[in-house]
Structure 1
Amino acid sequence: MRAEQLTGPEVYHGEGPVWFPGWGGLRFVDMLAGDIMTLMVDGTLQRTHVASVAAAVRPRQGGGAVIGVERGFALEEPDGTVSTLPEVWSDPGIRMNEGGCDPDGRFYCGSMAYDQAPGAASVYRLDPDGSVVTVLERVTVSNGLEWSPDGTRAYYNDTATSAIAVFDYDREAGFTNRRVFAELPDDGRPDGLTVDAEGGVWTAVSNGSAVYRYSSTGALEERLTVPASKVTACTFGGDALDRLFITTSQENVDTSDDPLAGSLFFADVGVRGMPVRTFAG
């Protein structure tokens, strides 16, 4: 399979696509610009600046959105105003990177050092009451996080490991029993990920011009070719959740050799995704 181009190379570091009917369809982030991108019905992109870094965005149950920003979290109200919550840490060498919501309405976002120092990062959980809990420590480049259709497993990418991890998940116990779900071939670097309604796990491969689909047992079943080198994340969208949207990046890319870097792509992959989980806060 091969993805098709949907927009021009309009973003520097596209990440974290999310489809939510309540805000009209697809949003994603131009992370290092601090902007949220909205795909309009005419195929153009609308850019909204929210912070110095916009790491991840998810809808809130009552309207608006929760956003991972450089050193913590922010809340967008239904009227579009954005308020930043207290910083989770003060070290300017570390920033948020990617996240998602669990089946119980809590929002997670993981970090990374700007220089990608090994073990310098963590994963944090923002609860609906505004409290923040550290759920994973000593990670390097925290990336994709999504749950199985029944909510009992969580899939997670720390890019530096070249593997997808899986945890058992329970509301009270959180993440337990970490193990390798799948190792990527050829030292592939897993980035953002999503899970389809059949339990298949789709991961962007940031050094592979591709998205891979793994079965629920961890077998590599599909390689979707993307005509840009640095593929960052993917999500299911469209009215039937049957279209895979894929973000790409220009960061550390020679765009003279890779002119579509920073474009948004899509593919019809023959399987449906799951509705996005919303933040209860």
Structure 2
Amino acid sequence: MSGVRVIPRGGERDRLGEGLFWSARAGALYWTDILGPALNRLSLADGRVTRWPMPDMIGWVIERRDAPGLIAGFRSGFAELLLDPVRITPIVDPEPDLPDNRLNDAKADAHGRIWAGTMPIGADRPTGSLYRLDPDRTTTRVDTGYTVANGPAISPGGDWLYHTDTVPGRVYRFALDEAGVRDRELFIQFQPGWGRPDGMTVDAQGGLWIAHWGGARVSRFTPDGALDRSIALPASHITNVCFAGEAYDRLFVTSAAEGAEDEPHAGALFEIDPGVHGVPPHLFGG
């Protein structure tokens, strides 16, 4: 497909690719295979892909600002993660009373906090919530009632937090500041035929890029929520998007093979030319 590149991985594909994160420190792109379960890393210098099996479902990783390693979201909760060798140090399970829930997707903000959603593993009831993990390791539930809490994204100015409930196709917008989030509003309602909103990121112009689960594409929405353009991809279940590279001008996209095993590119990692630049990701402050 014109303008779309499949990243070579020796035939490896993800059952449920997710959790993209660009590390300028490592010059590499991280992403997870939730159902693998595994963590992947693509070196942009030489195209090498490394894959680490994980002992538990892993939704995402975010780099630490002032310490080595990553913070990861597992089925069992937040944890510190070091690689080579793999070492996992639990931080906290935000939902010990909901053993069938797991962490799903997350982003950090300019204050060093992580905003992370949870969901039931079966994606069949609204027991998911949105949490804030502060640098001092305390957690706060800030919203609830999600079936699949997904795709946080932070506006370039840091004044908006976008968050999704995938199943009903809703993208919400919260006002964001040092005190937290407030004033949730419906920002985008996905239309029939679009699929459902999954992972998200923003570009330097304030555009919101959304992966379409079941929609075989990613789309850019303007800062006022209008559909700007879509880029078709050769896989049905598109899950996450992330700007990478020194100039943040390369856009990578994950997908899922689960439920689409007959599609040759389902579960692949794609690269597309976005025509715009992204912004550096925020890191966890703890």
Q: What's the CA shift for 1:130?
A: 1.3
* 8 A contact 2:172–2:188 mirrored in 1: yes
TM superposition score normalised by structure 2: 0.92
Q: Quote the sequence identity (%).
A: 34
Deviates more, 1:46-55 or 1:199-208: 46-55
Matched residue, 2:284: 279
The structural deviation recorded for 1:97 is 0.7
1:12-51 pair list within 5 angstroms: 12-40=15-43, 41-51=45-55
SS of the residue 2:35 aligns to: helix
Question: Can you give the 5+ residue segments of structure 2 that lack an aligned partner in the other structure?
Answer: none
Amino acid at match of 2:58: A
Structure 1 counterpart of 2:273, one-letter code: D
Partner of 1:143: 150
- Between Structure 1 and Structure 2, the one with more helix by share is 1
Would you say the 8 A contact 1:7–1:265 is kept in 2? no
- Tell me the residue number matched to 1:92: 99
Say if 1:183 and 1:233 are closer, same or farther in 2 by CA, change over 3 A.
same
CA distance in 2, matches of 1:115, 1:83: 26
User: What is the identity, as a one-letter code, of the residue corresponding to 1:48?
Assistant: W
1:119 aligns with 2:126: yes
Provide the C-alpha distance between the structure 1 equivalents of 2:15 and 2:231, rounded to a whole number of angstroms: 22
User: Which residue does the alignment assign to 2:5?
Assistant: 4
| Alpha-carbon distance between aligned partners in 2 of 1:159 and 1:137, rounded to the nearest angstrom | 14
> What's the offset of the Cα at 1:77?
4.4
Give the residue type in structure 2 aligned to 1:134.
R
Matched, 1:266 2:267: no
Q: Tell me, what secondary structure is at the counterpart of 2:167?
A: helix
CA distance in 2, matches of 1:44, 1:134: 38
- State the match for 1:68 in structure 2: 73
* Structure 1 stretches lacking a partner, 5+ long: none
The alpha-carbon deviation at position 176 of structure 1 amounts to 1.1
- The one-letter code matched in structure 1 to 2:6 is Q
Pick which of 185-194 and 146-155 moved more.
Answer: 185-194
What is the letter of the counterpart of residue 228 of structure 2? E
**Does the Cα contact within 8 Å between 2:27 and 2:245 map onto a contact in 1?**
no
Structure 1 residue matching 2:25: 3-state secondary structure: helix
Corresponding position of 1:179? 185
Paired residue secondary structure (2:112): coil
Cα distance per residue 1:92-125 (max 9 Å; x no partner)? 3111111111221011221111221332111222
Q: Please state whether the residue corresponding to 2:242 is helix, strand or coil.
A: strand
Q: Which 4+ residue blocks in structure 1 deviate beyond 4 angstroms?
A: 77-80
- Per-residue deviation, residues 202-249 of structure 1 (Å, max 9, x unmatched): 000001000010011111011011111100000001121001100000
Instruction: Judge which range, 226-235 or 118-127, deviates more.
Output: 118-127
Partners of 2:82 and 2:236 in 1: how far apart?
36
How far residue 78 of structure 1 moved from its aligned partner, in angstroms, is 7.8
* Aligned pairs, number: 278
Q: Secondary structure at the match of 2:214?
A: coil
Following superposition, the deviation at residue 24 of structure 1 comes to: 2.2
CA distance in 1, matches of 2:192, 2:24: 37
Matched residue SS, 2:140: strand
Whichever residue aligns with residue 28 of structure 2, its letter is G
Q: Which moved more, 1:225-234 or 1:34-43?
A: 34-43
| Mapped partners of 1:21, 1:43: distance in 2 | 15
| Aligned partner letter, 1:259 | P
Distance 1:96 1:120 in 2: 12
Match of 1:54 in 2: 58
1:273 is displaced (CA, Å) by 0.4
Report if aligned partners of 2:3, 2:273 keep a CA contact under 8 Å in 1: no
Structure-1-length-normalised TM-score:
0.94
Could you tell me which amino acid in structure 2 is paired with residue 198 of structure 1?
Q
Contact 1:212 1:222 in 2 (8 A): yes
The change in CA–CA distance for 1:16 and 1:152 in structure 2 (over 3 A counts) is same
1:132 paired residue number? 139
3-state SS, counterpart of residue 33 of structure 1: coil
The amino acid across from 2:70 in the alignment is A
